[in-house]
Structure 1
Amino acid sequence: MINAVYKKSFGSYKGNPFIEALPAVLEPKQVAERIQGVLDFTTSDTQASTSVRAHLISQMMGQFFYPINRHIDLEKKLSIMIREGYVGRNPKDGSLNTRLQNGYERLMSGEDDSFRFPAVTSTARSLAFIGCSGSGKTTTLNKILSTYPQVIYHSELNFTQIVYLRVDCPHDGSLKSLCLHFFRAIDQALDSNYEKKYALKRHSIETLLNLMRQ
């Protein structure tokens, strides 16, 4: 967790502390410099035996990462997704409180279509990133996400912002397991006890999903 330091932003991002506490938008060259891997290599390694060199090469494969245009493009899309999602959740213009109130209404009523403020438009974006197993999807995403702090604390707002959350798909593909994984990931990021508080109790799937939203 880091403390928020604000930098003026642009367009619809301007004046939103959740966006202005994020790192600056990176240019393609900066992205490449941030996510590329650095090899731990010495020239004497080339004189090692065949068996040892095989191990050294295998170790380098875990370190080596050379950004290509697809990686740069993915970083740009994720950068837009993260920031656009906060446009409709600005704590300074009331939009965040509106969404929290709507979530509370759904939670209390148990109905997904229950809203206190019905005229709320989502600014959230989504993206499908598909590839064969072992093609580097996880490595690429981890490299890009490492350019962001995961948790930012806003002392002026007394608010903790989770910039991103990585949740693995449950092995059985069930919604209940997804909720369990979600609360577990929250606990790992915040050192909290949401899994014990919500997920391990006998709540219905609908209630767990509404708790996730809230």
Structure 2
Amino acid sequence: MEKKIKNLVLKGEQVEAVYKKQSLAEYENNPYIEALPPIFTEDDVLEHFMVTPIISQQDKTSETNIRYHILKRVKNFIQPLPIHFEVERRLSTLIRRGYLARNPLDKSFLARVRLMHELREDEENAQYIAERLNYLRSTADSLSIIGISGIGKTTAIERLLLMYPQVIKHTNYKGQPFNRTQITWLKIDCPYDGSLTTLCQSFFKAIDDLLGTRYLEKYGSFNRNVSTMLLFMTSLASLYGIGVLVIDELQHLVNSKVDQEDMLNFFVTLS
């Protein structure tokens, strides 16, 4: 009996692409980057990030038992700190720099998409395709946020992610047909048992929940090995132009039965 993959997916906005003039030359002529919001200032982060509980004059004059419940609104208070501005800058750079080598108008990117199509059509060639992929240039980067439980890591990263539309629908770019669905960010939780198989399945399920697809059923069966599922993840990352993949609760990996070196190789390959 297969166990179900339970994953509460953080969902953001789905918008139509609006292309913007870029401040940096290397970001120009790349629809994935041009469709993103402008690079945020600290004032932008302050406006989107800060949450102040609203307490009316009527609340202040309420009975004691009511005011006790009103007081609990303080739990929703969020005040940005200098570290939050730094994380936002890192996230903004990570997304944009990752798209440099994945410009959907670039020939090398189109070559990668063709390889991914071969992979989806013929699993027997998966190892051959994996070797070919190793020669493709990548500008992907990674970021780790480490801290004790309950200090607001998840809240911070979720607030920052929600500043970006999650799904961008492309139809035309500079007068030419350009039909693409871009996933700017995707957030999944590391499974409680630290299973890399379940982690890969959570990735497929997150896309299914977001787009109404059936990739978990197609690619995430339990009889597949992790390396094969990782290649399918690569395929979907290229197909949907995933800007950043956030994996939360990584401390669960200490419970994993996977060898530590294999686990490290998994994340290096994933990047």
Per the normalisation by structure 1, the TM-score is: 0.90
Question: Which piece of structure 1 moves more, 30-39 or 102-111?
Answer: 102-111
- Give the 3 Å change call, closer, same or farther, for CA 112–146 of structure 1 in structure 2: farther
- The Cα offsets for residues 52-89 of structure 1, whole Å up to 9 and x where unpaired, read as 33321212312x11111111111111000111111100
Aligned-pair distance for 1:93? Answer: 1.6
Other-structure match for 1:120: 136
- The answer to whether the Cα contact below 8 Å between 1:150 and 1:189 also exists between their aligned partners in 2 is no
Per the normalisation by structure 2, the TM-score is: 0.72
- The answer to whether the Cα contact below 8 Å between 1:85 and 1:125 also exists between their aligned partners in 2 is yes
Aligned-pair distance for 1:204? Answer: 2.2
- The answer to whether the Cα contact below 8 Å between 1:105 and 1:115 also exists between their aligned partners in 2 is no
The answer as to 2:215 corresponding to 1:194 is yes
- The answer to whether the Cα contact below 8 Å between 1:31 and 1:72 also exists between their aligned partners in 2 is yes
* 1:1-214 aligned within 5 A: 1-9=14-22, 10-62=24-76, 64-103=77-116, 108-111=124-127, 114-116=130-132, 119-156=135-172, 157-200=178-221, 202-214=223-235
- The answer to whether the Cα contact below 8 Å between 1:102 and 1:114 also exists between their aligned partners in 2 is no
Runs of at least 5 residues in structure 2 that lack an aligned partner in the other structure: 1-13, 173-177, 236-271
Aligned-pair distance for 1:30? Answer: 1.6
2 CA distance for matches of 1:87 and 1:30?
24
Higher normalized strand content (fraction of residues): 2
The 3-state SS of whatever aligns with 1:86 is: helix
Aligned-pair distance for 1:115? Answer: 3.8
Aligned-residue CA RMSD in angstroms?
2.0
1 CA distance for matches of 2:185 and 2:130?
27
